[in-house]
Structure 1
Amino acid sequence: MQPGDANVSGNVHGGRILQMIEEAGMIVSTRHCNVGMTEENNCICGLARVEHTDFLQPMFVGEIAHLHAVATYCSAHSIEVKVDVHAENLFKGEKRLTNQATLWYVPIKEGNIVCNVPPLVYKQPEDEMAGRRRYLKQKTEREQVDTNAPSMTDNWAMSIDVPNRNGEMHTVGNAQSSLIHLVGVQDCGVHGWAMGGVAMKLMDEVAGICAIRHCHTNVVTASMDAVDFHQRINKGSLLHVRGRPIFNSYKSLLIQVIVMVEQSGKNEHGELDVILYCACSAYFTFVSLSSERKTLPIPPLKLHTDDEKARFEEGQQRYKKQKSLRSAM
């Protein structure tokens, strides 16, 4: 890992790791889906979902990142890939696990046509049954109405201009952040649309800015909740990446991040118009660190509006759910 991969704390940026994870998953899933396919029928796998991702340990500049990705389950039109990330310190001869992630991909060929996924050979029948349960679980979660996907009546999501900050410390308005990014050729794969890892890297950056504005300390990404990619992001689009803090516990801060896509197109009357839609959204958890890398208390979030209070309660439920899941492991 190079100096350009680091955040201000000296750790490798969480978004950079997410980008590498997505690239590894894309390679493995695309390789599997093109086994036995003809040149006329080959495909590229696009990211559909990322499950909850924990950053187990930091990775540092100068270490070597090892990513091991393997296909673990296939349905008719999707493939599950699990990725382990290890950091190797060449001087100490040590290697440690830093990240584990589960991603779901869909194979797509020219014309935006979803391809069939070749069957996967499982070591044990139990592996296929367990994978089937995971598949049905994530399918159910994606089909449910989720607050991750803002409706077009969500004023905060739709107001993509930079908001006026009132300057009051530890408020949502003072910490929220936005970023506008033009999707260029360098952001896209051979299929012509933005790689999922690019969006996740930008989301992590915006979430990190929110956390710094709220805590005024060094912060690091602790986890990222499941991410659903609702629509693909085309080359030439403008990405409006918006983040806001919604909940804090004593030592963690929950940030909601959405990616709104702005592109030119035709409306229902056939007239040229600006189209705005939500491509993906997620919740990031950050912790605050002292100069000695010890966790610090999070300043309490000041809530002024009914919406902020409702979001805080929602974040509290998410926090309790994740805490109970960790306790059960």
Structure 2
Amino acid sequence: MRCFRPRRAADEVDKLVKRPLVSGDVREGGESSTSQLSRIMRPDDANIMGNVHGGTILKMIEEAGCIIGTRHCNTQNGDRCLAALVRVEKTEFLSPVFIGEVAHVTAEITYTSKHSLEVQVQVMAENILTGAMKLSNKAALWYVPVSLKNVDKIMEVPPIKYASAEQAEEGKKRYEAQKLERLETKTRIKDVVSPPSNPEQHTVGFSQSSLIHLVGPSDCTLHDCVHGGVTMKLMDEVAGIVAARHCNTNIVTASVDVINFHRTIKKGCVVTVTGHLTFVSNKSMEIEVIVDASPLMETEKGKYHAVSAYFIFISLDKYNRTLPVPPLKIEGEEQQRSFEEGKARYLQNKAKRLAEKERQQ
């Protein structure tokens, strides 16, 4: 349900949402480069504890990014196009959102290359009874414009204006970095290994979970390809099941490392979303989620890796305080290697958070 915001709430959102790169919120042609969606959180958006699913928020973030990206790319002459999601950078879940709160999702185009654009998104949660506002999420997404006439044709992106040459250069660095990382990630994806028939508790096999979904028309864009937000919601649900099975407590999404969209998933495909634990610290769990797709009516094409990501979950008590996470029992060299790689990511992200905290003080 879309909703109208009172003027006071609208003012608070505008104050709290920071627009980091583009000066004046105007792109070439004089049109606004920002977009906002608002929706009240309903019971079907949340888990049994009343926390809104991380996948619901991710889906709203992608919708806002797709709208502003598609709108911007269609300001030029030529074929009409649709912004297709190819990557989501690390996404922090800064505070939980609850049933009855209104999520205000603001998206802004912050960099454009010849064939792609970066959209930065912030989510504010509003308690409409008290007027209190809190920053819930921040994310950066990359899109490419795909022609509506030819799904294999990537269109050119109209440029945006920057406040300074330094801001344009910083955007270019982010573009080059994500392009390289996407190629590296695609080569690292391994096939999913089935768990043993009677796995021991707190092992990788015990909590590993899969979800099978047939892609229908309501899941798809105008190209008959799956919305990125739909895929992310399924991935978050599977990761949540893995985390809950390992802890047997209330769990919430704390962050998403990076989501890479390697290949498109079309209507009529069967997607298998599989999640398994890779690393566990004292109070967090890293879960690798892989999305495989295969055309239902064209079996000769076989299954392929479509999307991959690492989700970070934490365990909570009934007062929403963090709980210790049971240690992960490692079995075999491959799991040990994955654990060490996950530990390295954990320490790297921890160092970044501490550095960011020091800069803000």
Q: Tell me the TM-score normalised to structure 1 length.
A: 0.92
1:133 deviates by: 1.2
Structure 1 unpaired stretches of 5+:
267-271
1:101 aligns with 2:139: yes
Query: Within 1, Cα distance between the matches of 2:247 and 2:182?
Result: 33
Measure, in 1, the Cα distance between the counterparts of 2:224 and 2:192. Answer: 31
Q: Partner letter of residue 253 of structure 1?
A: M
Contact 2:111 2:168 in 1 (8 A): yes
Residue of structure 2 equivalent to 1:123: 163
- The answer to whether the Cα contact below 8 Å between 2:192 and 2:274 also exists between their aligned partners in 1 is no
State the match for 1:269 in structure 2.
none
| Distance in 1, Cα, partners of 2:68 & 2:218 | 21
Alpha-carbon RMSD across the aligned residues, in angstroms, is: 1.5
Mark the runs of 5 or more structure 2 residues left unpaired by the alignment: 1-40, 357-361
Confirm whether residue 177 of structure 1 aligns to residue 209 of structure 2.
yes
Distance 2:159 2:171 in 1: 13
AA aligned opposite 1:303: I
Q: How far is the alpha carbon of 1:126 from its aligned partner? A: 2.1
Do structure 1's residue 111 and structure 2's residue 147 form an aligned pair? no
Preserved CA contact (<8 Å) 2:273 2:292:
yes
1:1-80 alignment, distance < 5 Å:
1-38=41-78, 41-80=79-118
- Taking the TM superposition and a 5 Å limit, the aligned residue runs for 1:197-216 are 197-216=229-248
Read off the aligned partner of 1:200 and give its amino acid letter: M
Cα distance in structure 1, aligned partners of 2:268 and 2:77: 31
Q: Is the 1:175–1:210 contact (alpha carbons within 8 Å) kept by the matching residues of 2?
A: yes
Partner of residue 130 from structure 2, selected from 72, 92, 104: 92
Q: Which residue pairs with 1:320 in the alignment?
A: 347
1:265–1:275 contact (8 Å) kept in structure 2:
no
Q: Displacement, 1:167?
A: 4.3
Aligned partners of 2:263 and 2:306 also within 8 Å: yes
The number of aligned residues is 314
> Aligned-pair distance for 1:125?
2.3
Summarize the Cα distance change of 1:257–1:155 in structure 2 as closer, same or farther, 3 Å threshold.
Answer: closer
Deviation at 1:176, TM superposition (A): 0.3
Between the aligned residues of both structures, percent identity stands at 51
Alpha-carbon contact 1:47-1:103 (below 8 Å) kept: yes
Give the corresponding residue for 1:303: 330
Task: Report the secondary structure of 2:303's partner residue.
Answer: strand
Distance verdict in 2 for CA 1:215–1:9, change over 3 Å: same
TM-score by length of 2: 0.84
State the shift of 1:123 in Å.
2.3
Instruction: Report deviation, 1:254.
Output: 0.6
User: Could you give the per-residue CA deviations for residues 16-65 of structure 1, whole angstroms, max 9, x where no partner exists?
Assistant: 00000000000000000000324xx1100100100000000001110111
